[in-house]
């Protein structure tokens, strides 16, 4: 009986509370009021330190968990590969981690890291390389000792190299099975040229030529304190950590900093290109070279692209090609920038063979519309609010924040960029968007790349009973001229001779 009374009283209390809150609920979600989001971007200088050898160290301590995360970031990556050694850089990163060290063979090192519950990774990308360790604070001394030996003195075990090589060679055989992979490869070739690191890919010949000596040579160039920045997060005291890093890096001689990333020399040629592939879905990329990251109009161009196709379901291309016409499940655009040279703008969609031409026309219609008509206030405010409200996510974790600081220092991002970012987004006007569209979109000088059965794609939906205004063929673009990209051998990437 007492239990029943308790439950009854609780029910009355809950009901009463619900009624009290119900009086405060707005009649419509649009009537909801939210307090302004207050967020001040952190200053890099508050987290930056420097070792006696000049290596920058960014630190953000936290005692939430008894863990320490240390990340090494090195300037240098795939662009340093010899011309005939494509795949060497990525394999070097894998082998540093899996190939053992001077202290232990591969299996012993793996077992020791597992025993210490240390999560260790190494990677070599196109522009930069990294190595990180996440370990219990109580195990830091031993874990980091092994980590440093692995980074400075990798064993490059021959047996492990053969395993990795075999896996990579096996993967080459299937890389033409995926239409999207083909589209991205060929688009990069068209944009950057086949000999630039942005587009170059490993072949059987290049992978088979890689030796332990090659691994050592590129390791010695990249994994050098002259190219190094360090970030540390987790459970530590700053001065003790600085002293710890000083001791651990002592004796690691400073070599030469690697050169900057080379700019491409290839000039792409506008036009329609197709890669013949029998498949039910067609991949289409429409694009050209774009702008540098630090262009004075980069924010205006980003807002323009978000409205055009970069913001998913709120974007024009997605609404036109996907939502209204139902021609593709995936459609949009991206504006990739580079620090050293202009990046790429591209629109993309994946559609059925008969609808390729119509979907292409719709994309070009959106190019023209955003260049000739001011965007609506509602469209602009939606994108502005999204960029501003999601801005704090860039700094939502200490590791991500320090990663931004290191990248900004390495790439000389203009001072005060993050502090002024939201104000610059707010200040973008419809006129700014239209001006950016005319300056940075060049549909008449674009590449249209299509992967699929070309003869069917070319005729579009001309044989259908569609509304005459919706009938489209690929003859609408570039005077009906199209260039066939030769089929490539998946292992050599050489054109297949018929």
Number of other residues whose CB lies within 10 A of the CB of residue 256: 9
154 DSSP β-pair partners: 101
SS3 of residue 9 by DSSP:
helix
- Whether the full predicted model's pTM is greater than 0.85, yes or no, is yes
pLDDT-based confidence at residue 22 (cuts at 50, 70, 90)? low
Q: Tell me the average pLDDT across 170-192.
A: 96
Alpha carbon distance 226, 54 (integer Å): 9
pLDDT at 422: 97
- The residue assigned the tokens 């290191």 is 406
For 209, the token pair is 């030529």
Q: What is the mean pLDDT of residues 35-64?
A: 93
Higher pLDDT, 13 or 156: 156
Q: What is the CATH number of domain 44-249?
A: 3.30.830.10
Note the pLDDT of residue 469.
83
Other C-beta atoms closer than 10 Å to the C-beta of 207 total 21
- Domains of the chain: which residue ranges? 44-249, 271-484
CATH number assigned to the domain with residue range 271-484, chosen from the 4 options 3.40.50.720, 3.50.50.60, 3.30.830.10, 1.10.10.10? 3.30.830.10
431-481 pLDDT per residue, tens: 999 999 999 999 999 999 999 999 999 999 988 776 888 899 999 999 999
CATH topology match: 44-249 vs 271-484: yes
Per DSSP, the chain holds a count of helices (H) and strands (E) of 17, 12
């Amino acid at each position: 009986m007492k239990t029943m009374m308790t439950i009854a009283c609780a029910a009355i209390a809950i009901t009463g509370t619900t009624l009290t809150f119900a009086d405060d609920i707005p009649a419509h979600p649009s009537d909801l009021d939210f307090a302004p989001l207050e967020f001040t971007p952190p200053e890099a200088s508050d987290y930056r330190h420097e070792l006696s050898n000049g290596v920058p160290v960014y630190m953000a301590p936290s005692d939430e968990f008894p863990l320490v995360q240390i990340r090494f970031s090195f300037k240098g990556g795939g662009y340093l590969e010899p011309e005939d050694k494509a795949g060497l850089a990525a394999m070097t990163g894998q082998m540093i981690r899996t190939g053992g060290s001077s202290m232990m063979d591969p299996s012993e090192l793996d077992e020791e890291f597992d025993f210490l519950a240390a999560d260790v990774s190494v990677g070599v990308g196109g522009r930069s390389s990294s190595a990180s360790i996440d370990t219990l604070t109580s195990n830091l001394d031993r874990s980091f000792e092994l980590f440093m030996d692995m980074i400075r003195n990798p064993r490059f075990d021959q047996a492990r190299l053969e395993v990795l090589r075999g896996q990579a060679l096996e993967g080459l055989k299937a890389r033409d099975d995926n239409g999207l992979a083909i589209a991205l490869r060929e688009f990069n070739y068209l944009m950057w040229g086949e000999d630039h690191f942005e587009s170059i890919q490993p072949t059987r010949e290049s992978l088979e030529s890689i030796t332990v000596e090659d691994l050592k040579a590129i390791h010695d160039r990249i994994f050098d304190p002259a190219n190094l920045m360090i970030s540390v997060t987790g459970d530590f005291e700053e001065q003790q950590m600085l002293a710890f890093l000083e001791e651990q890096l002592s004796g690691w001689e400073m070599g030469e900093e690697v050169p900057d990333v080379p700019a491409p020399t290839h000039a792409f040629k506008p036009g329609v290109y197709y890669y013949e592939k029998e498949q039910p879905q067609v991949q289409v990329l429409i694009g050209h070279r774009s702008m540098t990251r630090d262009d004075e109009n980069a924010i205006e161009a980003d807002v323009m692209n978000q409205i055009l196709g970069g913001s998913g379901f709120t974007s024009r291309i997605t609404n036109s090609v996907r939502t209204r016409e139902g021609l593709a499940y995936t459609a949009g655009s991206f504006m990739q920038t580079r620090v050293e040279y202009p990046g790429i703008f591209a629109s993309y969609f994946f559609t059925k063979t008969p609808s390729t031409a119509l979907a292409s026309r719709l994309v070009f219609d959106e190019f023209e519309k955003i260049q000739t008509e001011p965007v609506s206030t509602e469209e602009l405010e939606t994108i502005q609010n999204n960029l501003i409200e999601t801005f704090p996510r860039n700094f939502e974790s200490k590791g991500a924040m320090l990663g931004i600081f290191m990248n900004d220092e390495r790439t000389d991002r203009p001072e005060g960029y993050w502090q002024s970012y939201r104000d610059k987004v707010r200040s973008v006007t419809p006129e700014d968007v239209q001006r950016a569209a005319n300056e940075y979109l060049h549909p008449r000088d674009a590449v249209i790349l299509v992967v699929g059965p070309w003869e069917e794609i070319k005729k579009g939906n001309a044989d259908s009973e569609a509304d005459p205004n919706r009938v489209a063929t690929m003859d609408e673009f570039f005077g009906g001229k199209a260039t066939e990209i030769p089929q490539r051998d998946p292992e050599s990437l050489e054109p297949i001779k018929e």
